[in-house]
Amino acid sequence: MAKDEKQVTWGGRFSDRPNLLMQVFGESVSFDKRLAPYDLQGSMGHASMLAHVGLLTDDEFSEIKSGIAELVEEIKSPEFSWKLELEDVHMNLEQALLAKTGAAAKLHTGRSRNDQVATDMRLFFKDACIQLSEKLELAMKAILGLAQKYATLPIPGYTHLQRAQPVTVGHHLLAHLEALGRDHERLSKVADHANVCPLGSGAIAGSTLPLDREFTAKALGFVDREGNPRITANGMDAVADRDVFLEFAMACVNCSLHLSRLAEDVILWNSSEFGYIQLPDTFTTGSSLMPQKKNPDSFELIRGKTGRIVGNLQNLCVAIKGLPLTYNRDLQEDKPPVFDSLDQLSMCLSVLAGSLEDSSFNEERCRKAASDPLLLATDLADYLVEKGVPFRTAHHLIGELVALAEVQRISLPELEQDEAIKICPELGIEWREVFDLNRAFAKREKPGMPGPNQIESRIQHWEKLLLF
Ligand code: ARG
């Protein structure tokens, strides 16, 4: 085998090239080419450090720099030729740079693909968290829009999917908004954890060369609020650790679980049985057979894709479990699940925003459902408590009244006064005033409750965060 037939980056000690099947099996460029902008950014930071410590001459650095600048543009084109036999994005880009300048042969000085890929992915995660946060804000704005519009529209709140107590559409939607707000915070924590530079770890044990790790970290923006460099503390950990992958995948799981539960609420509310919400034609679909159908597919798919996003986290956990330190090729499989979680969640968030923006509540249906007096059975128990009845006794007595009304097939406030008083003398004469929704909401003006002022102040809180 002639020398020039050797594998171009690591072929020195081999007398044969990899079998074609092995090349196809082992390549990652088909998916990690997505990291190309980060890989070039990482190379630029590394090269500037090499020049800083004298491992590249000024001329070599400026050739590498302009070569990288050209590649930054070239990789945007679908014409860019990614070569499977060069395995991955790192070796493809190194060879593409070498075709421009011989100085590129010095680029991999003091660097391994192990710390290179760890760096690329940390840069990727910092960006991905920003992208997702922006999408999340759009979805949150759409929820806020509906919460503003229907802030005081009453609906039943449910536990066990049974009518429990009255709430308002505003209160219910704000509950989802709070959950998504926590997802937003989680994403910024993941970005913060990603913000540590592994370059200089080499394969596992750094390098004998006079690298300046702090310089590289600063060049790549791995810095704290004061601008101090943040670098990984142990070379073996730096190339083996996939914590940020797991944290990112988990943040996606958390957010998609929240979207899925919101989707489920909307799907229920949209059924003929509830009839609380109308969805726009633009995000629903029809049936190929039943002409009357208008299905909430966008919400069903948001719910469905959650399974896939949960699976991606599982995928990573299983891939990492049992790997000895440090880098093992298994870890090449760590990218598709996180790319998929980013892409799917990002689409779910956009679809949610689009679907909710043009949705509207059916006020009549909501009010009718919320006028069920049983929703205020607890308020009646509270009314007795205010008259000195111990809550457990009050609960029992109201339970008896409910049972009596059920037997008589009438609603709770329709019970005859003398029959009601027989069960519970403390009711007095004005007990039916409890069955007034305005009273029920006005009495719920502590933080976290659905009183109109509480809802208004929480809406203002989110307006400040999302709209100004
Ligand atoms: N394509 C590889 C991956 O994604 C890059 C790191 C390869 N390192 C190695 N020692 N083979 O994991």
What is the Å distance from ligand 1's center to 87 Cα?
Answer: 9
Query: Active-site positions?
Result: 160, 287
| 99 and 141 together in one domain | no
CB-ligand 1 contact for 184 (6 Å cutoff)? no
Threshold 0.75, pTM exceeds: yes
Half-sphere exposure of 411 (CA within 13 A, CB side): 10
Distance CA 255, CA 247 (A): 12
Candidate from 30, 85, 90, 113 with most ligand 1 atoms within 8 A of CB, to mutate = 113
| 335 and 294 together in one domain | yes
The total number of structural domains in the chain stands at: 3
Residue 23, domain member (yes or no): no
| 280 and 157 together in one domain | yes
- Choose one of 367, 396, 430: the last residue of a domain: 367
Residue 1, domain member (yes or no): no
> Residues 6 or more apart from 88 whose CB is under 8 A from it?
27, 28, 29, 32, 113, 117, 332
Angle at 363 between CA 146 and CA 283, to 5 degrees: 50
| 167 and 305 together in one domain | yes
Residue 297 structure tokens? 């597919």
**Looking at ligand 1, which residue's alpha carbon is closest to its atom 5?**
113
Residue 20, domain member (yes or no): no
Residue 246, domain member (yes or no): yes
- Choose one of 77, 109, 141: the last residue of a domain: 109
Candidate from 38, 87, 91, 329 with most ligand 1 atoms within 8 A of CB, to mutate = 329
What is the Å distance from ligand 1's center to 466 Cα?
Answer: 41
What is the Å distance from ligand 1's center to 392 Cα?
Answer: 65
Tens of each residue's pLDDT in the chain, 468 residues: 444 577 887 788 888 888 899 999 999 999 999 999 999 999 999 999 999 999 999 999 999 999 999 999 999 999 999 999 999 999 999 999 999 999 999 999 999 999 999 999 999 999 999 999 999 999 999 999 999 999 999 999 999 999 999 999 999 999 999 999 999 999 999 999 999 999 999 999 999 999 999 999 999 999 999 999 999 999 999 999 999 999 999 999 999 999 999 999 999 999 999 999 999 999 999 989 888 988 999 999 999 999 999 999 999 999 999 999 999 999 999 999 999 999 999 999 999 999 999 999 999 999 999 999 999 999 999 999 999 999 999 999 999 999 999 999 999 999 999 999 999 999 999 999 999 999 999 999 999 999 999 999 999 999 999 998
What is the Å distance from ligand 1's center to 9 Cα?
Answer: 13
Atom nearest to 335 CA in ligand 1: 4
- CATH number of residue 453's parent domain: 1.10.40.30
Residue 57, domain member (yes or no): yes
| 328 and 397 together in one domain | no
Contact 167, 437 (CB under 8 A): no
CB-ligand 1 contact for 326 (6 Å cutoff)? no
Distance CA 392, CA 382 (A): 10
| 63 and 89 together in one domain | yes
Residue 7, domain member (yes or no): no
Q: Which residue has the tokens 């995948």?
A: 249
| 355 and 386 together in one domain | no
- CATH number of residue 34's parent domain: 1.10.275.10
| 152 and 291 together in one domain | yes
Q: Domain span at residue 128? A: 114-367
Residue 386 structure tokens? 């205010």
CB-ligand 1 contact for 327 (6 Å cutoff)? yes
Atom nearest to 28 CA in ligand 1: 1
| 267 and 172 together in one domain | yes
- Choose one of 367, 398, 416: the last residue of a domain: 367
CA 118 from centroid of its chain's CA atoms: 22
Distance CA 306, CA 304 (A): 5
| 286 and 433 together in one domain | no
| 400 and 281 together in one domain | no
Sign of the alpha-carbon torsion through 272, 278, 281, 284 = negative
Residue 16, domain member (yes or no): no
